[in-house]
Amino acid sequence: MEEKRKKKSGPIKSAIESESDVDTKLWSFITTRSTKSWFLCISLFALLIRLAVALHPYSGANTPPKFGDFEAQRHWMEITLNLPVKEWYRNSTANDLSYWGLDYPPLTAYQSYFHGILLKLFDPASVSLFASRGYESYLGKLLMRWTVLMSDLMIFFPAVLYFVTVYYSGKSTKDKSGMVWHTTMILLNPCLILIDHGHFQYNCISLGLTTAAVAAILSDRDLVGSMLFSLALNHKQMSAYYAPAFFAYLLGKCLRNKNPIIDVLKLGLVVLGTFAVVWWPYLYSMDASLEVLFRLAPFERGIYEDYVANFWCTTSVVLKWKRLFTTQSLKLLSLAATVSTCLPSMVQLIWSPTKHGFIHGLLNCSFSFYLFSFQVHEKSILLPLLPASFLALDEPFVFEWLIYNALLSMFPLLRRDKLVLAYTAIYGLFILLYHAPSGKKDTSKTNRFFSILKLFALACSLFLHVIYMTITPPDKYPYLVEAIIMIFCFSQFVLVLIYSNRKQWALFNTSTQVDTKKKSL
């Protein structure tokens, strides 16, 4: 904690000093209050925005026969509620896996089960077996929306509060405007709100569990952290994007303890134990567990889908990966690419496991996964965004950059969901909140080159938005604008990845200096 405080107090102090008096005082009526009070304010506002976004259409509204993610989630409730646990992942007459078959780990299934019970209580028709396919009644839709809100309120919000209190513990409590602003940035992440409450998903649960895990690890509760992260993994397999960072940091930390082997064993036992509890209904036979496992790894869906701004999809404009290689070799290729890009960050974490480095590592590893791993979806950008939002106060530029490009990269998806209005409003709201009076430190200190670059990129982004909304592409290339957006976002993402990796290694130098100082003392 000590070393982190030393490093952090620098920018924060100067940030406070650089702010004009007027600005800091405007929100003082909230920022000078106790954490509980201002957190209540921000959560109410965040809740209001979520409720308002939930008024807009969801993915696949009124589009039979397959509908969209909303129907998938509802269908999972229907399946888990009406079939025994063992049947959930098995193709049968009652459970047609080709129609939105369950392909998330068991914790998602349990969550669907509990939400299904709630739905059944108020609107039984919405979860009746077979009959409820494509069910879209007023009450049914509303209840579904409310289950997401409830999950958000019960998991993501408390996790953020936990994270913020841990992250800022031991810092001066006189002026908390930076802390309040930081919390607002994490809670009002526009991408997360649009995907969960607009498009319809439950990312708030797995991301909330991850946030709590990070907070636990930052407060040196490594065992609790590993348990929470295992739960996150068991809610959405995509949480594995963070796994290298968790693994490297905890390993590095254990290696520095007196009994590294015992510590590693302890962590391993906790992880295995959590997995065993969650997978209990499927552990009775090898086949049953493998059956579930195969559902979670949809390799048959190809290396990429739609127009995701990652390496494989972007380079496929020139190199037709799917034609050149077999799925099997593509799997290996993507694995190699992902691991090799994660490696620098992991090595740094094992070498010098600092808390600040850990968050950087989370960002770098999840970003590598997003850019290079197999079967990535546009929505997966949420994963690198979470650690980026943890770093919002220290690296506001990276965070802002990432948010703008992440929003752009999801724009085609959200347009398909008829969420353009919500997208526009929440984009504007984010810009306002980011530049809130008395919020973060002054950006005028960043050098001129960056600000010109930023303006240029923002102009490009605006241009692409307008083009995508107004121009009908030529018949020969129906997805021309999507491809351009994808290439643009990919280039920005690569820049951010390189910059953020460099930052992590820069930390390494300072932390080794601190270490040598400590040793000499």
Partner 1 sequence: MKKPPNNHRHHIRWPALVAAAVKLLLIPVYRSTDFEVHRHWLALTHSLPLSQWYSDTTSPWTLDYPPFFAYFEKFLSLFASRVDPTITHLHNGLNYASPLTILFQRLSVVISDVVLVYSVFRLGKNGNFSKLERFLMWVLVIWSPGLFIVDHMHFQYNGFLLGWLLLSISCLEEGRDLIGGFVFAVLLCFKHLFAVAAPVYFVYLFRHYCRGGLVKGFGRLVLMGSAVLAVFAAAYGPFLYYGQIQVVLRRMFPFGRGLCHAYWAPNFWVFYIILDKFLSFFLAKLGFDIQAPKASFTGGLVGDSSPFAVLPTITPLITFITVLLAISPCLVKAWRNPQPRMVSRWVSYAYTCGFLFGWHVHEKASLHFVIPLSATALKSTEDAKHYFYLSIVSCYSLFPLLFEAQEYPIKVVFLLLHAVLMFFGFSSRFPGTSAATASTALKGTDNNKLETHAFHIGWFGKSYLFGLLVVEIWGQFLHPIVFGDRFPFLPLMMISIYCALGMMYSWFWQLKQITLTH
Of 19 and 78, nearer to partner 1 (C-beta) is 19
* Tokens representing residue 102 in the block: 């369950």
Calculate Rg over the CA atoms of the chain.
23
Q: Is 87 in the site for partner 1 (CB under 8 A)?
A: no
Q: What residue has token string 């809740």? A: 47
CA–CA distance, 472 with 480 (Å, rounded to integer): 10
Shortest distance, CB of residue 65 to partner 1, whole angstroms?
Answer: 24
Of 139 and 261, nearer to partner 1 (C-beta) is 139
Of 318 and 432, nearer to partner 1 (C-beta) is 432
Binding mask 163-192 for partner 1 (x = CB under 8 A): ------------x-----------------
Nearest Cα to Cα of residue 274 among 224, 214, 236: 224
CA–CA distance, 488 with 465 (Å, rounded to integer): 12
CA–CA distance, 253 with 24 (Å, rounded to integer): 39
Of 7 and 418, nearer to partner 1 (C-beta) is 418
Q: Which of 29, 280, 294, 456 is close enough to bind partner 1 by CB under 8 A?
A: 29
Sign of the alpha-carbon dihedral angle for 323, 325, 330, 334: negative
Shortest distance, CB of residue 119 to partner 1, whole angstroms?
Answer: 14
Q: Which stretch binds partner 1 (CB under 8 A): 68-76, 136-144, 332-340, 360-368?
A: 136-144
Sequence-distant (6+) residues with CB within 8 A of 174 are none
Count interface residues toward partner 1 (CB under 8 A).
Answer: 45
Alpha-helical regions (H) of 352-447: 355-372, 382-390, 396-416, 420-434
Which of the residues 394 through 433 are near partner 1 (CB under 8 A)?
A: 421-422, 424-426, 428-429, 432-433
* Tokens representing residue 403 in the block: 């948010």
* Tokens representing residue 492 in the block: 């920005």
Q: Which of 16, 97, 118, 149 is close enough to bind partner 1 by CB under 8 A?
A: 149
Q: Which stretch binds partner 1 (CB under 8 A): 44-52, 275-283, 295-303, 395-403?
A: 44-52
Shortest distance, CB of residue 363 to partner 1, whole angstroms?
Answer: 28
Shortest distance, CB of residue 319 to partner 1, whole angstroms?
Answer: 42
Q: Is 32 in the site for partner 1 (CB under 8 A)?
A: yes
CA–CA distance, 347 with 352 (Å, rounded to integer): 8
Q: How far is CA 295 from the centre of its chain?
A: 22
* Tokens representing residue 254 in the block: 């254990």
Q: Is 55 in the site for partner 1 (CB under 8 A)?
A: yes
Q: Are 384 and 370 in contact (CB under 8 A)?
A: yes
Shortest distance, CB of residue 170 to partner 1, whole angstroms?
Answer: 22
Shortest distance, CB of residue 285 to partner 1, whole angstroms?
Answer: 45
Nearest Cα to Cα of residue 358 among 394, 387, 389: 387
Q: Is 37 in the site for partner 1 (CB under 8 A)?
A: yes
Q: Is 325 in the site for partner 1 (CB under 8 A)?
A: no
* Tokens representing residue 372 in the block: 């290079």
Q: Is 223 in the site for partner 1 (CB under 8 A)?
A: no
Q: Is 454 in the site for partner 1 (CB under 8 A)?
A: no
Sequence-distant (6+) residues with CB within 8 A of 308 are 376, 377, 378, 380, 409, 486
Residues that bind partner 1 (CB under 8 A): 18-22, 24-26, 28-30, 32-33, 37, 40-41, 44-45, 47-49, 51-53, 55-56, 138-139, 142, 146, 149, 175, 421-422, 424-426, 428-429, 432-433, 436-437, 442, 444
